[in-house]
Chain A
Amino acid sequence: MHDLVVNELEEHLAGTASMEFHAHLAACPACRTEVESIAQVSQLLAELRSDTEMAPSPYFYTRVAASIVEHQNTDHWGLLAPGAAFFRRVAFASLVVLACLGSYLVMREGDVSGMSVTRGTDAAAVIAQHDVTDDHAASSDRNLMLVTLASYGE
């Protein structure tokens, strides 16, 4: 569809399109066909205009106010509302899963601490083997240090 038609279609439907627009439609069969289809379908939209004046009842605002209060009461119940049983079950299940996960993490931390104590003991045991009052060669100190470091690494 040519730009001229897009730009002036609304004017055409209102009956105020330019001479240039009409000349283009006369010369362009594709645009002419499409504009005719659009005009035909667009006219149908007038069917949605109400031909009857409907006056609201005198109690209409009271009904609206009652509807608003009803919606507000439903919101205030929140998760405690009888209709929220499913969400209560989901919340309970989530708590159980969290409790199990928490227990597992606490148990794992206990194992890790145990291992650290064991390492510490090993290193402490090696160091304790070294008697600082003994006369010994500096090289043996070096060797002992290397053994200590190697043991600590394991």
Chain B
Amino acid sequence: MDYENTPEGSLVRRAQAGDESAFQEIVERYQSKVFSIIHGIVRQRNDVEDIAQQVFTKIYFSMRNFDFRSSLITWVYKITVNECFDYLRKKKVRKLVYESDMSEDEVRRVENSETGSGRTVRADTALARRDYVVKLLERVSSEERDLLMLKEVEGYSVEEMARRLKMNENTIKVKLFRARQKLVKASQRLDRAPSRG
């Protein structure tokens, strides 16, 4: 089915032409999904709406660049995941700057509470496992990260991903395989890294 000629395709066309009501409809259609994706990665309730706001602002200004090569939800998903990882990266930088003003004892206390090191991250808590997975995903490309998340978090089959992304099934299988190998290598490196403190 040609996505551009679907009802959603014409909604996107209207939004690209500057129709604000069309953009509002897109926001209302996908806001819950975007909130859910962000919460799964970031887990800080206070930050979810802020990040979602940035996601839809970015979507507004990038709408003209949407070329119908994938479905809208896939495109929105990629932007959302990228914003989450950008947020986490900036948060890490701010934390490092903040830490430089703290004493050694204070830094160790913050790190232990946030499970900052490779060894301590593998504690049996959901938050620690989530942090660990985020660290692993930071070590693959954004394309590989999107594929892995569509497959493992959203639960799409390879056939569905091929249809949504307009890629060949074998290409997706090979890309997923390489991405998974990179995750394993990243996991081995993190496990070998000495713990801080």
Contacts and interface: CB of A to CB of B under 8 A. Distances in A.
The answer to whether A and B interact is yes
A44 interface: yes
B31 A38 contact: no
Interface stretch (A5-13, A91-99, A119-127, A129-137): A5-13
Contacts of A67: 53-54, 57
Contacts of A18: none
Interface residues of B, number: 45
A140 interface: no
B105 interface: no
Interface string A52-89: 11111100110110011001000000000000000000
A41 B52 CA distance: 28
Contacts of A42: 148, 152, 180, 183
Given A50-B40, A60-B49, A41 B180 contact: yes
13 contacts: A7-B173, A10-B158, A37-B187, A41-B184, A42-B148, A42-B180, A44-B129, A44-B132, A44-B136, A45-B152, A49-B153, A56-B35, A63-B53
Interface of A: 1, 6-7, 9-10, 14, 34, 37-38, 41-42, 44-50, 52-57, 60-61, 63-64, 67-68, 71
